[in-house]
Amino acid sequence: MIFKTLTLLLVTMMMVTNTSRAVMEKQTYIIYMDKTKIKSSVHSQDITKPWYESILDSISQVEEEDEEEKEQTSSSNPDLLYVYETTMFGFSAHLSPSHLESLNQIDGFLTAIPDELVHLHTTYTPHFLGLSKGRGLWSESNLASDVIIGVLDSGIWPEHVSFRDSGMSPVPSRWKGVCENGTQFSSANCNKKLIGARAFFKGYEKFAGRISETVDYRSSRDSEGHGTHTASTAAGGLVDNASLFGFAKGTAAGMRYTSRIAAYKVCWPLGCTNSDIIAATDKAIADGVDVLSLSLGGAARPYYSDSIAIASFGAIQKGIFVSCSAGNSGPSKSSVGNVAPWLMTVAASYTDRSFLTKVKLGNGQVFKGSSLYKGKPTKQLFLLYGKSAANNGSERLAQYCIRGSLDPKLVKGKMVACERGITGRTLKGEVVKMAGGVGMILLNSASQGEELFADAHVIPATSLGASASKTIRSYVLADKSPTASISFIGTVYGDSNAPTMAAFSSRGPSLVGPDVIKPDLTAPGVNILAAWPPKTSPSSLKSDKRSVLFNIVSGTSMSCPHVSGVAALVKSAHKDWSPAAIKSALMTTAYTLNHGGRPIGDISSNRSSEMANPFALGSGHVDPERASNPGLVYDITTQGYLSYLCSLNYTSSQIAILLGGNSTCSIDGGLQPGDLNYPSFAVLFSSRSTKKASVTYKRLVTNVGYHKSNYAVKVEKPMGVSVTVEPKNLSFGKVGEKLSYNVTFVVDGRARASGSSSFGSLVWISAHYIVRSPIAVTWQ
């Protein structure tokens, strides 16, 4: 979900305040230990205590110099939050600077990372993705097996019709999870569909203080709606006649609608702390989930200091597939988050469904927009913008319809044009309404492109793209009596340009791992209808008293659970496949042409012909049925990831943080990041490279198609680079056979601007399969 900028500012202010205070006082840290050293070291001192208690006792023994310090001793003791022994080895605790100094003296201590906040980033999408009841991945046999999807988010509304368990078999005996009691939540709220629910807030409350139960539930119950929406997108049951005010009416269904759901609430009013996320992941693995879905994250950072990357590395070693949202900071370059190669990083794109409006200006011009307002068309109303609607001295703020910036005497009975940004889109409508306005037009900037969000406004309102917005600004300033009207057309299907990349979807290349293309693929993430708590308004405004069971929202938070559910479908069809094999199947079968047969476009550009490149859509748009039968897969073992980490020149301590213990890199100096057996190719050259500059990468593919299969390679070479593949043909004699090939990239010698990129593809083609990998060459 796209977050309101003011909320982000509040979070940032809170983090700065807490950080400043922590310089003098205690702060929460995530402590990483080497389990191969720490247990023997600590147990040699006191075998009667758990290892973490022995550590905390040892760092609590601070010399007291006077009576005043003695009085403060109890408050200076470390405060343990969580112990981690599954995803990683360590704990989180509230520590003072002297505690940190003492930790450095303990054999087996690796590092301490300050805790921080990260943020939360469907009736029709199954049809759009090619899923049909009774066929293929939605066949009765494939849906019969138990697959458990763990959702780390803002909780869940357990009574929702999407989470009913009618006709479901008993909870599998392998499940070890529980439904924890809390505010308005008990074990009775769980059933054979929702089989687990836990809440994690120890880390959050160290940042923000005790959670106010007038604002949120101090339990797994969802007050925001985000978690309910994502859980139902991944695995919500079939619900007939689902809609929002009649929009998008149809049968709602999660991607794998027979899956069990386990909800782990880690996100609260101001965000989600890493210490809580790691604790939830640790529990989810121990509970027995098969797939983890995380529609949250922060800025990209080195893998050894990225808590989500560390926790998820422990998950994939247990055979658990992990899907994460790419982030909502697009179209800025290198804005993608959750970039570790063992994560499935999901971008967001449009389907061919829209919620059409028409705006007619007084001069006769007509523009198409988007809205979820349910009501009659407006009359032709006087149109205000900026200065013409502003209180004295608030002209700039009035352009964005900030609270208090509009003059009720000017606005009453009129329509106001508001720029997108700074505050939430529906909040702008509320501000106009409170000032007496009766209509609103949301204007896009040039950087926001032709992005059209559909929102459940509290006033007749619509969004418009950048080109229409530019015309309206000029019209209002030039015409002495500008007017406009809005008519609401409703749900429209069949856009041949779909799918199209969303402008907000975060882009690559990755700042910390440019040797891997991120995001990995794209999935539906714009205007997605899914379950919603009835006590949370569709606009998320407190003044909005409307109650709905389904809501339509947008973000990579929405695209992520689509892929989580699809991964669960593939996993049920191929129970012995590793997370890397499932990821490979999803990536190499993704498509890159829209429904009109043209390359998938990018709506951040004002040019409709602009192609989306792999740094926007990854390998392409997810195609569930093809992913279930990919022909070849690129598998990666733990040793493969270890070799990759070694090629990044990580220290043994940094690698131990990810592995949870000691590890050794090969003394072979031939390791290079590009040899990771990834289903795509990211190639880096210096902008000063000569014609002779080259690099060769190795790949290993496994036959999962027909016993006897012959593949020939086809290369679409990136501009400025020649590509040679050896061998050019692969012949498999049986299922499970592995064959390797080498790819050599050679620059053509022409000067290239630093930071520029060119793109191509490498495709293995047989009589039955097309196995495609994108190529991205970047000059640094």
- Per-residue pLDDT for 71 more than 80? no
Q: Select which of 153, 276, 282, 520 is catalytic.
A: 153
- Per-residue pLDDT for 130 more than 90? no
User: With contact defined as beta carbons under 8 Å apart, do 705 and 536 qualify?
Assistant: no
- Per-residue pLDDT for 91 more than 90? yes
The rounded distance, in Å, linking the Cα atoms of 632 and 709 is 10
The rounded distance, in Å, linking the Cα atoms of 632 and 668 is 29
How is residue 452 written in tokens? 């059209």
Q: Where are the alpha helices (DSSP H) in 244-394?
A: 274-287, 307-317
Peptide linkage before 630 cis (omega within 30 of 0):
no
End-to-end CA distance of the chain: 33
- Per-residue pLDDT for 63 more than 50? no
Question: Which are the contacts of 225, defined by CB distance < 8 A and separation ≥ 6?
Answer: 154, 532, 533, 536, 540, 551, 553
The rounded distance, in Å, linking the Cα atoms of 522 and 349 is 6
Which DSSP helix (H) or strand (E) runs through 348? Answer: strand 344-349
Residue 305 known to be catalytic: no
pLDDT score recorded for residue 671? 81
Mean pLDDT within 517-540: 96
pLDDT score recorded for residue 10? 36
- Kindly tell me the sign of the dihedral angle through the C-alpha atoms of 63, 67, 72, 73: positive
Distance of CA 415 to the CA centre of its chain: 36
Q: What is the DSSP letter of 459?
A: S
Q: Where are the alpha helices (DSSP H) in 401-555?
A: 408-411, 425-434, 466-478
The rounded distance, in Å, linking the Cα atoms of 600 and 598 is 6
Q: What is the DSSP letter of 749?
A: S
The rounded distance, in Å, linking the Cα atoms of 530 and 236 is 8
The rounded distance, in Å, linking the Cα atoms of 675 and 692 is 20
- Per-residue pLDDT for 8 more than 80? no
DSSP per-residue letters across 308-342: HHHHHHHHHHTT-EEEEE--S-TTSTT------TT
Quick: pLDDT tens for 411-442: 999 999 999 999 999 999 999 999 999 999 99
Find the largest Cα–Cα distance for the chain.
86
Quick: pLDDT tens for 19-48: 444 334 789 999 999 888 875 555 455 555
Q: Select which of 94, 121, 226, 229 is catalytic.
A: 226
User: With contact defined as beta carbons under 8 Å apart, do 336 and 510 qualify?
Assistant: yes
Arithmetic mean of pLDDT over the chain: 90
Mean pLDDT within 238-261: 95
Distance of CA 712 to the CA centre of its chain: 35
pLDDT score recorded for residue 667? 64
Which DSSP helix (H) or strand (E) runs through 639? Answer: helix 638-647
SS3 243: strand
The rounded distance, in Å, linking the Cα atoms of 109 and 518 is 32
User: With contact defined as beta carbons under 8 Å apart, do 88 and 280 qualify?
Assistant: no
How many alpha carbons fall within 13 Å on the CB side of residue 708? 0
How is residue 600 written in tokens? 């998938």
How many helices (H) and strands (E) the chain has is answered by 22, 37
pLDDT score recorded for residue 35? 84
Residue 12's pLDDT band (boundaries 50, 70, 90)? very low
SS3 26: coil
Residue 573's pLDDT band (boundaries 50, 70, 90)? very high
The rounded distance, in Å, linking the Cα atoms of 316 and 304 is 16
Q: Select which of 557, 647, 663, 709 is catalytic.
A: 557
Mean pLDDT within 317-327: 97
Query: Among 132-136, 171-175, 531-535, 629-633, where is mean pLDDT lowest?
Result: 132-136
Which long-range contacts (C-beta less than 8 Å, at least 24 apart) are formed by 548-552?
A: 548/244, 548/245, 548/456, 549/160, 549/161, 549/242, 550/123, 550/242, 550/243, 550/244, 550/252, 551/225, 551/229, 551/244, 551/456, 552/244, 552/247, 552/248, 552/355, 552/372, 552/454, 552/456, 552/527, 552/528
Crossing angle for the helix pair 307-317 and 274-287, to the nearest 10 degrees: 10
Cα–Cα distance list, 24 to 17, 19, 21, 101 (Å): 12, 9, 6, 14
How is residue 451 written in tokens? 């992005």
Place of tokens 């977050």: 3
The rounded distance, in Å, linking the Cα atoms of 435 and 412 is 6
pLDDT score recorded for residue 554? 94
Question: Which are the contacts of 337, defined by CB distance < 8 A and separation ≥ 6?
Answer: 121, 297, 298, 299, 300, 324, 325, 326, 327, 329, 345, 506
The rounded distance, in Å, linking the Cα atoms of 396 and 386 is 7
pLDDT score recorded for residue 254? 96
Residue 165 known to be catalytic: no
pLDDT score recorded for residue 144? 83
Which DSSP helix (H) or strand (E) runs through 10? Answer: helix 5-24
Residue 668's pLDDT band (boundaries 50, 70, 90)? low
Quick: pLDDT tens for 553-565: 999 999 999 999 9
The rounded distance, in Å, linking the Cα atoms of 101 and 619 is 46
How is residue 210 written in tokens? 């005790």
pLDDT score recorded for residue 751? 66
Residue 160 known to be catalytic: no
Quick: pLDDT tens for 711-752: 999 999 999 999 999 999 999 999 999 999 999 999 987 767
User: With contact defined as beta carbons under 8 Å apart, do 242 and 249 qualify?
Assistant: yes
- If one counts every other C-beta atom within 10 angstroms of the C-beta of residue 669, the result is 6
Quick: pLDDT tens for 760-779: 999 999 999 999 999 999 99
Place of tokens 């060459």: 777
Question: Which amino acid type is present at position 382?
Answer: F
Cα–Cα distance list, 155 to 152, 181, 541, 691 (Å): 8, 13, 19, 55
Q: Is the pTM of this model over 0.95?
A: no
pLDDT score recorded for residue 39? 57
